[in-house]
Amino acid sequence: DNSSRVTEIILLGLSDTRELQLLVFTLFLLAYAMVLLGNLLIIVTVRTDPKLSSPMCFFLCHLSFIDICYTSVTAPRVLAALLSGHKAIAFEGCVTQLFFLHFVGSSEMFLLTVMAFDRYTAICRPLHYTAIMAHRACWALVAACWVGGFIHSIVQALLVLQLPFCGPNAIPSYFCDVLPVVRLACADTALTEWLMASNSGLVSLGCFLVLVASYALILAKVWARLSRGHWKPLSTCASHVMVVTLLFVPCIFTYLRPAGAVPPSKYVCVIYTTFSPMMNPLIYTLRSREVKESVWRL
């Protein structure tokens, strides 16, 4: 019945206490500013320095752009809601937010997997690296990441849109995501939740396993150098694994869950929506000497 269809969603946020809301606003504002400034600095540095023309820098520039888009899907809305106290979002706006959240988020996962393949090729197959990671191949890999992210997110959005919404409209979170929205539907959503868990959860788990496998192969390749005291490859891999873990483990914990399971804490979502994009420019810049030197020159 069209007259009983939900037209807006209430996002309850992280806290109802005014003092905690001020603290949350300050932390989100600082984190969002760091995401914007850090990633914009990397983009400008890579685009203006002709020395940074390697495939790694090419992918790093795209990763920074994705991080800005990913955080911008949720952070401005959170900051506006904390300032105004208005927690409602139109149903169409809610679906749009979850679409772009999964579009950009899954594209970032695919891109991180491509970057791991780039590092594996550079270290394990150095003689063939230039031929494998040619400029056209790099563009094709980036385009494949965006196409894969679009296919993943459009499936999620279509699964939400085919459900009837006529009852409760409050979500215990600060942004719209597929599982909280689906659980508001006036229908049996067990099958839909399983489909969504299989989609988002398996994408997160699959990319994470590929990343871990690539780092394991890299470490196996450079193990002889580690025994001679050359610890830089281990240090670099360890820092990258830390950033990858901050993104993938909370996503796997959130999405790879059976239907009817208790929803994960909304504070866990802060890790992969805000904290991980803030750490990416720090880790990937500080672990690359040429990028770090170009940043300081700029």
Any idea which residue has 């106290």 for tokens? 85
pLDDT value, residue 148:
94
Per-residue DSSP letters for 48-111? H-TT--SHHHHHHHHHHHHHHHHHHHHHHHHHHHHHH---EEEHHHHHHHHHHHHHHHHHHHHH
Task: Give the per-residue pLDDT at 229.
Answer: 53
Domain count within the chain:
1
Domain that holds residue 96: 8-296
- Residue 1 domain-assigned? no
Return the number of other C-beta atoms located less than 10 Å from residue 155's C-beta: 15
For residue 3, the model assigns a pLDDT of 45
Tell whether 192 is covered by a domain: yes
- Residue 3, in any domain of the structure: no
Asked whether residue 206 is assigned to any structural domain, the reply reads yes
**Per-residue pLDDT, 2:** 47
Domain holding 146: CATH number? 1.20.1070.10
Specify the residue for token string 């770090």. 292
Tokens of 289: 């000497």
pLDDT tens for each residue of the chain, 298 residues long: 444 577 888 888 777 777 788 888 888 899 999 999 989 988 988 888 888 888 888 998 999 999 999 999 999 988 888 888 788 888 889 999 999 999 999 999 999 999 888 888 888 888 888 889 998 999 999 999 999 999 999 988 988 888 888 877 888 888 888 888 888 888 877 788 788 777 888 888 889 999 888 888 888 877 766 655 555 656 666 667 777 888 888 888 888 776 555 556 677 888 888 888 888 777 776 666 777 777 788 7
**CB distance 275 to 249 below 8 Å:** no
Residue 12 within a domain: yes
In the block, tokens 């090729």 appear at 121
User: Is 156 part of any domain?
Assistant: yes
The pTM score is 0.88
